[in-house]
Amino acid sequence: MPNPVAYMMLMLWPLVCVTLFARLPVRRAIIWGILGGYLILPPVAEFDLPLVPSMNKDSIASFATFLGCVLIARQPVSMWSRVWPVRLLLLGFVLCAVPTVLTNREPLIFEVLAGSEPIRFITNVVPGLGLRDILSIMIGQVIVLLPFFLGRAHLSDEAGLRAIILALAAAGLAYSLPSLFEITFAPVINIYVYGFFQHDFNQMIREGGFRPIVFLPHGLWLAFFMATALISAAALTRVSQDSLRLKWGLTTVYLALVLNACKSLAALMYGVALVPVVLFLRRNTIIRLALIIALLAIAYPALRNLGLIPLDSILEKAASISAERAQSLEFRFTNEELLLDRAHSKPWFGWGGWGRNLVLDPETGMIVTVPDGAWIIVFGTFGWLGYIAQMGLLSAPIIMAALYARKAKSAEISSFVPPITLILAATMTDMLLNATLTPFTWLCAGAVLGYFERQLYPDWNRRRRSLFGAGPAIGGKTQPDARKTAI
């Protein structure tokens, strides 16, 4: 159970954000308000408030950063897009709560028969969704999107994209120190600081050693974060010159070694496959590759339904690498099948919350499935509407980048767009296995979307600058030089 320090940190983070916006340029305050909260605040701990969603590390960091930007820095944040398909996706993401609640008003009642006569005993009841749940879910969906809006408004220029990449690399370097401690000794830092272990300790034991977890929900989350930091360091190596290139090159090698020590095969594969892409391929080619990866991730549920995913071959390949990893993957696939069968009962708008999207024991109502992948959680909760809205918003920046790259030369695209699109595509792929979608992912998606809105709609951006002053084309005052404010 979280100790008082855990809850105190959650309560203090808004004050940390106030300090960030009072002392740092807006770009840096936004980045560290969200990324710092993800890396430092306690997992699992949350405040369960009436009529609003539970406030945890992600929602508190997002909401506090948004308020700091608007109230402390006094910077506007637009919540509307110039691109009409993105507008539809935003509406679908927020308003999917309405049909989901309206089609899940009935409670789920679990009962058993006893005796020779048909006497029924009610053992458990999962409540139906009420009209007030519409407001709660919609508020939660808007909070999820706040980093998206912040990235689009204030990180959508060359300097903002560079600040994102530099922050990821710097945070990876800093986080490698507690990670190496846990790899060497044991994943105990969260226990020492916040008084509890956030997951199953046995899952952190791998290959005779330990997986690090620090303050993240699982060791897989940390390994994936290290993969994104590695990709970012490789991007900085490519764009740097002379001695700075050497430093970032050494950083890339170091982060690759740390990633390998994290003992996560999927994250290691992302690093091994994508780092050479970032280092050597043309910008347009990288964006096209990111688009292919993203589209395959989006199509995964449909391919699963059609039986076109070779699950047996994947398991055999995993078993040839590690029997333990194959067993873990088989467990995920088995639970996916059960959850998909459940989701197919309400495919369009899902089952909603309260565990209604999970497979429950017909007599006791106890949960008998474990949802791992973010896609099956969203699909089971909000159906096709929610799934398409979420994956559409994450892939929209990549699609816009690919469309722009068809007509533009590589040199006309920011050198930081390709690595961020690759990180987005890798996240969408990892969401098939894990729930690794974080507020910082939404920040990256918003920044890339805003960048291409600026390229495609220059007249609109000039009109906004006349209203809000000079600076980033989508909201905000003039930012200091990127070389001085990158971190």
pLDDT digits (tens, 9 = 90+) for 321-359: 777 778 888 888 888 889 999 999 999 999 998 889 999
Measuring CA to CA, how many Å separate 241 from each of 166, 248, 249, 378, 485? 15, 10, 11, 44, 19
Say what the pLDDT of residue 452 is: 94
Say what the pLDDT of residue 351 is: 95
Q: Which domain holds residue 272?
A: 158-280
User: What does the pLDDT look like over 374-425, one tens digit per residue?
Assistant: 999 999 999 999 999 999 999 999 999 999 999 888 889 999 999 999 999 9
Residues 176, 55 share a domain? no
The answer to whether position 469 is within a domain reads: no
The answer to whether position 421 is within a domain reads: yes
The answer to whether position 1 is within a domain reads: yes
The answer to whether position 487 is within a domain reads: no
Number of structural domains the chain divides into = 3
Residues 285, 266 share a domain? no
Domain boundary among the residues 263, 280, 297 is at 280
Residues 407, 299 share a domain? yes
The answer to whether position 464 is within a domain reads: no
Say what the pLDDT of residue 480 is: 44
Say what the pLDDT of residue 116 is: 57
Domain boundary among the residues 53, 76, 99 is at 76
Q: Which segments of the chain have a pLDDT < 50?
A: 466-487
Residues 297, 424 share a domain? yes
Say what the pLDDT of residue 477 is: 40
Alpha-carbon dihedral angle through residues 374, 324, 43, 35, given to the nearest 10 degrees: -70
Q: What percent of the chain has pLDDT over 90?
A: 69
The answer to whether position 261 is within a domain reads: yes
Residues 192, 125 share a domain? no
Residues 418, 319 share a domain? yes
Residues 96, 28 share a domain? no
Residues 424, 304 share a domain? yes
